[in-house]
Amino acid sequence: MSVDTDTLSFYNRPNVEKAVIPVAGGVPIGLEGIYSRELGIGGVYGSWGECYNNSRLPSFVERRLGAPLNVDDVLNLSELGFDYRQHIPDLDDAQNLELELEVGARLLRKALEVCGWNASEVEGVLIGMSGPVSHDYVSQISRMAGISENALKVSVHKACDGSMGALHLSLNPGLSKPGQLNIAEYFRGKKVLVGGIEGLSRFTCGAKDKNALQLFGNGMGVIGVVPGENMKFLVGRSYENYDTEGLLAVRMYYPHSPSDVSKDSLVDVVQEDTDHIRVAGLMNEPRDGASIEMAGLMGMVKLFVRTGVQVVADVFKDYQELMDRLGEPGKPIKLGIVHHANFKINTLKAKHLSKLGIQFPMPWLLNDFGNVSAASNIIAFLRQLHNIYPGDHILFDGFGAGTYYDVMAVSMG
């Protein structure tokens, strides 16, 4: 595990295109596009809201809480890998909807531009979101971006694992269940946009958890993928391990069937209409109706590290066996793109994997965002795109509250 120590704020990066969305007096937005001609793959990532560094953040948190923070309540955020995050002011429901629709539409339009695609060519949009601002959010932003009504929209609600759950669905035909559309087979060879859009500043407005208010911020990222062509599935596993202790309780701002942890799966897959599928994971929800409640930083380590290491180890074993069958024994994983929950969690995962003889680079790349949930893997991937070449094998490691894991190895280009 390595850390990028560049602490330049996101909006001050040289290639970020900045604008102001005219909602509530103006909300800043920044987007950065990245494209690899060698791989034929690219995308866009960014954020919206006012930028807060670690020294300014406590005053913002105190306004949200309506009470002062004790000295012991202030996290050492740089130690956790975060130096900045973006937040919006408190808005009403109509303002939040208007703002996030414009954010999502701008992201998709910019992704089309970067990839060199016409909106009419796109046959799918898959977006991971922890707490959607509306149930038809993906359909609405796709329409605003000019994408055909007939394109399949897939909304994935598996907390921080949302974007990796979406990518996995688009690549791995083995995830399909009887009676359901095989999304990977349907999208094979077609142009699709995959990513995560997380308005976590809105989401945490309903929280009184001091750690959550310091860790989370707004972030988004989308990549243009042609499954089976510029990104090819090798091996992967999707795993559920219900958080019975409620170590990370998250309110479900989306429909879900009645709670039943004895079911074969905690995930509902519902065809809302002919062009929209909702994938919704069961969450342990805060008892007081808040949006999020954390059992401290050590609780997050307990929740994600042990099972997370096992899932990565299982996928790595599958990968080695596949390489042996293909006559490429020992072919390495070039890079691991890991969800950025916090630097200590990822460092500990790398340490435990190393003890199992599993080692590959897992760079820390989001100092200027905070924990942006389902957006983090996509941002990290785009920031490493210039280091990836045709034929490289990349491992994506997604994990989120619930608890959900999507880990997959892919071949690039």
Structural domain includes residue 3? no
Within-domain flag for 382: yes
In a domain, 4, yes or no: no
Taking a C-beta distance cutoff of 8 angstroms, is the pair 279, 170 a contact? no
Distance, in Å, from the CA atom of 271 to the CA atom of 224, rounded to the nearest integer, reads 23
In angstroms, the CA 341 to CA 335 distance is 18
Q: How much is the pLDDT for 296?
A: 83
Nearest 5 degrees, angle CA 293-CA 299-CA 304? 105
Buried b (16+ CB within 10 A) or exposed e, 301-322: bebbbebbbbbbbebbebbbee
Cα–Cα distance measured from residue 376 to residue 365, given in angstroms and rounded to the nearest whole number: 9
CA–CA dist 319, 330 (Å, integer): 10
Q: Tokens 């200027």 — which residue?
A: 368
Sort residue 213 into left (φ over 0), alpha (ψ -120 to 50) or beta: alpha
Q: Are strands 393-400 and 219-225 parallel, antiparallel or unpaired?
A: unpaired
pLDDT in tens, the chain (413 residues): 655 545 689 999 999 999 999 999 999 999 999 999 999 999 999 999 999 999 999 999 999 999 999 999 999 999 999 999 999 999 999 999 999 999 999 999 999 999 999 999 999 999 999 999 999 999 999 999 999 999 999 999 999 999 999 999 999 999 998 889 999 999 999 999 999 999 999 999 989 999 999 999 999 999 999 999 999 999 999 999 999 888 999 999 999 986 666 677 899 999 988 899 999 999 999 988 899 999 888 888 888 999 999 999 999 999 999 999 999 999 999 999 999 999 999 999 999 999 999 999 999 999 999 999 999 999 999 999 999 999 999 999 999 999 999 999 999 99
| Domain ranges, residue 147 | 10-412
Residues 252, 104 contacting (CB under 8 angstroms):
no
* Domains identified in the chain, total number: 1
Does 380 map to a domain?
A: yes
Most distant pair of Cα atoms in the chain: their distance: 62
Q: What is the pLDDT of residue 261?
A: 63
pLDDT, residue 122, reads: 98
Write down the pLDDT at residue 5: 47
- The pTM of the full predicted model, rounded to 2 decimals, is 0.96
pLDDT value for 299: 84
Q: Does 140 map to a domain?
A: yes
Which domain CATH number covers 77? 3.40.47.10
Does 5 reside within a domain? no
For residue 46, the number of C-alpha atoms closer than 13 Å in the C-beta half-sphere is 28
Which residue has tokens 């990349």?
394
What pLDDT sits at residue 389? 98
The one-character DSSP state at 140 is H
Is 346 a domain residue? yes
Judge whether 334 lies within some domain. Answer: yes
Backbone angles phi, psi at 106, to 5 degrees: -65, -40
